[in-house]
Structure 1
C-alpha cells in the first residue's frame, strides 16, 4: 500500500491536482507493481508565506 505525499505551494486548480494524482498513481503502479486501488496520494498545500528558499519567502518574490 504505497502512500505518496506531494507538498506544493497553493494555487493549482482542481483540474491540475486531478491530473497530478492520476499521473503519480500511474508512476507508482508502473514502478512498484502495486495495483492502483492500493496507491494513496496526499496533497499538502502550503501558503506562499510558509515556504522559503535561500531565506526568501515565496510570497516575497
Structure 2
C-alpha cells in the first residue's frame, strides 16, 4: 500500500533508523487503517557532498 522514500544525510545509527521506521509505520497504520506489513519504507543515505541547498554543497556549509 503506502511506500515512503526517506532521503537523509548519512551518519544515523541502525537504532535511529529502526526507531524512525517503527514510528512512521505506526502512525501510517493509525492514520490509514492498514496493517504494518502493507507499509514499505526505503531509506537512502546521502553524503553531504552529494546534496546542495541554495547552490552550496552541504559538505561546504559552515
TM-score norm. by structure 2 comes to 0.90
Q: CA RMSD in A?
A: 0.8
Query: What are the superposed Cα offsets for residues 12-61 of structure 1, whole Å, 9 maximum, x if unpaired?
Result: 11110000010110111111111111111110111111101111111112
SS of alignment partner, residue 12 of structure 2: coil
Moved over 3 A (4+): none
Unpaired stretches in structure 1, ≥5 consecutive residues: none
CA contact (8 A) 1:48 1:57 kept: yes
Residue equivalent to 2:18:
18
Q: May I ask how many residue pairs the two structures share in their alignment? A: 61
The answer to whether the aligner puts 1:35 opposite 2:40 as a matched pair is: no
Unpaired stretches in structure 2, ≥5 consecutive residues: none
